[in-house]
Amino acid sequence: MIQQDNRITEYMHSEEMNRRQLLEWAASAEDSILQFYVSGDADYIDFIEHPVSIVSEQLKEIFDIYQAGLSWKLVVFADMQRMQQTRYWLANPPSLKCLSPLSEYHRDGTLRKIILDEYAVENHKIFRIQNANHHIIVDLDVAECILKFNLAGLKLQKVDTEGPSIQRRVQE
């Protein structure tokens, strides 16, 4: 699972970003560009998780290599003081119903431990878990490639999977 590195607190983002509005814009068929004005000396990180998942140009290129046809929307961070624009992409990978019955939940119904059903994931390299959260899950191949490029502002967390051998033990 790809996550934003919370150790980096000073990163370039816009205070104007509203999750609901961004999700509505992402779901629209309109092929528009969203621009935010930013300023300051913060870092441009490669993965912004909140309020929605936004990735850098370099991370988008990695995702496109491993899973063609992902849905993207262009987000531009415009820094008027420096006279520069930085392209980011709103990531919208497919949502899969892929949670194993062995997944664990908190009392409020939120996920405590994610366990993926390998059969439901099939050959998807990059996806979200349907009706669970907005985290992006990447295959091991994608994760290894991300690590090779030394991208900033993200971390990878291992997610357990349920395969045929575990399923047989549970049924017995």
For residue 167, name the pLDDT band (cuts at 50, 70, 90).
very low
Mean pLDDT (the chain, rounded): 85
* Nearest alpha carbon to residue 100 among 81, 113, 90, 109: 113
pLDDT, tens digit, for every residue of 18-28?
A: 767 777 777 77
Does residue 17 register a pLDDT over 80? Answer: no
Q: Specify the pTM.
A: 0.84
Tokens of residue 38, six digits: 């930013």
CB of 155 closer than 8 Å to CB of 5: yes
CB of 113 closer than 8 Å to CB of 103: yes
pLDDT, tens digit, for every residue of 36-71?
A: 888 878 889 999 988 888 999 999 999 999 998 898
